[in-house]
A = this chain, B = another copy of it.
Amino acid sequence: MKKIINNPNDVVSDMVSGMIQAFPEKLEQIDGTMVIKRKELSSNKVGLVSGGGSGHEPAHAGYVGKGMLDAAVAGEVFTSPTPDQILAAIKAVDTGHGVLLIVKNYTGDVMNFDMASELAESEGIKVEQVIVNDDVAVEDSDFTTGRRGIAGTVFVHKIAGAMAETGATLNEVKEVAEKTITHVRSMGMALTPCTVPAAGKPSFQLEDNEMEIGIGIHGEAGIERKPITSAKNIANELTQKVLDDLQLQSGDEVAVMINGLGATPEMELFILQQHVNQLLKDNNLSVFRTYVGEFMTSLEMTGCSVTLLKVDNQLKSLLEAKSEATAFRV
């Protein structure tokens, strides 16, 4: 295992310290937790909390900032944060207008966010949740009932965050988050695995000429292992599967996210992007905005995902609204 770390058991606390020290004017850590919150909350708005296992950086702490999340809860690597930490985040960001939890669809996350939500409500805080399930690769998986939540989650953060900044009510923010979830779909693939620091060895193996289509962001099984093919074929396979599921009409407008899983050179993401773009054109779809980079990673996994979000005027205007999150500046 070749990693720039200290004790493998301390990676999350070391990382959170580094984040706070990097952006001391924007972020702070809630004492005794792995919760990163905005240093100065906007008043008069719904609070937004997300989080999940670590190892997906910049998700989720990179999306904390004015216009996106108010707090992110960092679990151990690829492990859901505990309910008490999620509760601490909820309490820290509630300004009396209620709190929306944005949860990726993994059994552990869903259970722990739900438990935290109940605890918060018993303390008189109004809490709502949305569950993101954008990954079209597989129904159910090792860690999930139903589809998994992956990179499309970042669009939910952005859109719900912008809506909350307008002073919308908890129900209104929840409604636009659910609308986003309804219209966003993703699919990924990997060329190489990653190593959880505390485990010390890769969680799976791929042959030298092999890729896995539809793999999850924790290395969960995808659809198929097969020989590596061209960027064009990879782009077409991922994008077509997303298009099949989204059921878009000719003339529809989409936002596109080309996401690197951690170790993929940006060069390759842009090569992929040109083929995704071409396939969208061939389907008479219009591209509103394209986002290329690392948004939802799997440590040093090599691979990518393609996310499409069908947009209307409301979603477009919320995507374009100002964001001061450190990993998503608009």
Contacts and interface: CB of A to CB of B under 8 A. Distances in A.
B267 A54 contact: yes
A297 interface: yes
A16 B3 CA distance: 31
Contact of A19 (B58, B62, B265, B270): B270
Given A23-B290, A290-B21, A5 B231 contact: yes
Nearest to A25: B289
A263 B262 contact: yes
Contacts of A270: 14-16, 18-19, 22, 57
Interface string A10-39: 010011111101110000000000000000
Interface string A47-80: 0000000110110001000000000000000000
Contacts of A230: 5-6
A180 interface: no
Interface stretch (A101-109, A112-120, A170-178, A299-307): A299-307
Contacts of A297: 265-266
A199 interface: no
A252 interface: no
A111 interface: no
A21 B274 contact: yes
Nearest to A20: B274
A274 B10 CA distance: 13
Interface string A274-304: 1001000000000000101010010110101
A4 B234 contact: yes
A229 to B, nearest CB: 10
B18 A274 contact: yes
B299 A4 contact: no
Contacts of A3: 191, 265, 268
A290 B14 CA distance: 16
A226 interface: no
Lowest 10 CB-CB distances: which A-B pairs, in order?
A: A18-B270, A263-B263, A329-B329, A57-B266, A18-B274, A4-B268, A18-B273, A22-B290, A2-B191, A14-B271
Interface of A: 2-6, 11, 14-19, 21-23, 54-55, 57-58, 62, 191-192, 208, 211, 228, 230-232, 234, 258, 262-274, 277, 290, 292, 294, 297, 299-300, 302, 304, 329-330
Given A3-B265, A4-B304, A5-B268, 15 more contacts: A2-B211, A4-B234, A5-B230, A15-B270, A15-B271, A17-B274, A18-B269, A18-B271, A18-B292, A19-B270, A22-B273, A22-B290, A57-B265, A58-B266, A294-B294
